[in-house]
Amino acid sequence: MKKLLLAFCIFYCIQINTFSQSVYSVDLKKDLITGTLSLGIGISTFFIKNEPENIPGILNKNKVNAFDRSLMFPHNKPLDIISDYAPIGLALSPIISIIPNIKHKNTLLTYSIMYGESLLLTYGTVFSLKNAIIRYRPYMYADGVPAGKENDYYNSFPSSAASFAFLGATFLSTTFSHEFPESKWKVPIITGSYALATGIGLMRILTGTHFLTDVFAGAAVGSLYGWLIPRLHLRKDYKNIKIIPAGNGMIVSLSF
């Protein structure tokens, strides 16, 4: 622990003088549109609900597609609890990109807005899909419904734990790469964050709570918003980004 703390202190001292201002900024017009859209998608989850009429018994494994069938496990409660809460650590990891530039007054506000939009979009997308699609969890093909899972056994797709883990990893990797492109810490941070996110996704499979495709879908959603929202807030790209309100959403134009 002492070595870890020392390494972090050295990292902080090196990076604190690298930039005096974040490469990200907030634009009132664009963030009103993006923020409203994010909030709308987040709230929409409360109006979508699709659930089976009856709790089934043990299901037939042969009805699962061959790709997912190769990695199906019975329920593992201890590992389920660990992997359910593990994404919280990765969700907090983007603070690493903030600390070196914290002395600039707008950094905390900018990151809060960016990460808030990313979280709402990820949450809304994932749980809208969960609430709309009935997909029984892998443990239903081995043991049936475990105790305490009576309201959760049919919400397998996509994996919310994987989505938030990969959101944190991608948001951190994207922001750190933009803020400190020459840093020696860039590769270790990117590698480490994605390794942790992958480990969480793997644990969700081993617990019997998710199929491989659930994890892939969750990782894709989290990675998309973890990259897109910081990209929309890059100072040098603002003139090249257009957000145009449409009838049922918005059109984002990004030129490189």
At residue 88, the 3 state secondary structure works out as helix
Amino acid letter, 61: K
- The phi and psi torsions of 255 (rounded to 5 degrees) equal -110, 145
Q: Is residue 100 very low, low, confident or very high in pLDDT (cuts 50, 70, 90)?
A: confident
Instruction: Tell me the pLDDT tens digit for each residue of 203-256.
Output: 999 999 999 999 999 999 999 999 999 999 998 654 444 544 555 554 555 554
**C-alpha triplet 92, 96, 102: angle, nearest 5°:** 110
Question: Residue 16: its pLDDT value, please?
Answer: 40
pLDDT digits (tens, 9 = 90+) for 28-82: 888 999 999 999 999 999 999 899 989 898 999 999 999 999 999 999 999 999 9
Give 244's strand partners: 251
DSSP H or E stretch at residue 228: helix 212-232
CA dist 110 and 227 (Å) reads 15
- The confidence band for 103, taking pLDDT boundaries of 50, 70 and 90, is low
| pLDDT tens sequence across 154-198 | 999 999 999 999 999 999 999 999 999 999 999 999 999 999 999
pTM, rounded to two decimals: 0.84
Domain segments of the chain as ranges: 61-254
Which residue has tokens 């979280």?
A: 119
CA angle 50, 129, 254 (to 5 degrees): 150
Higher per-residue confidence, 10 vs 111: 111
Backbone Cα Rg of the chain: 20
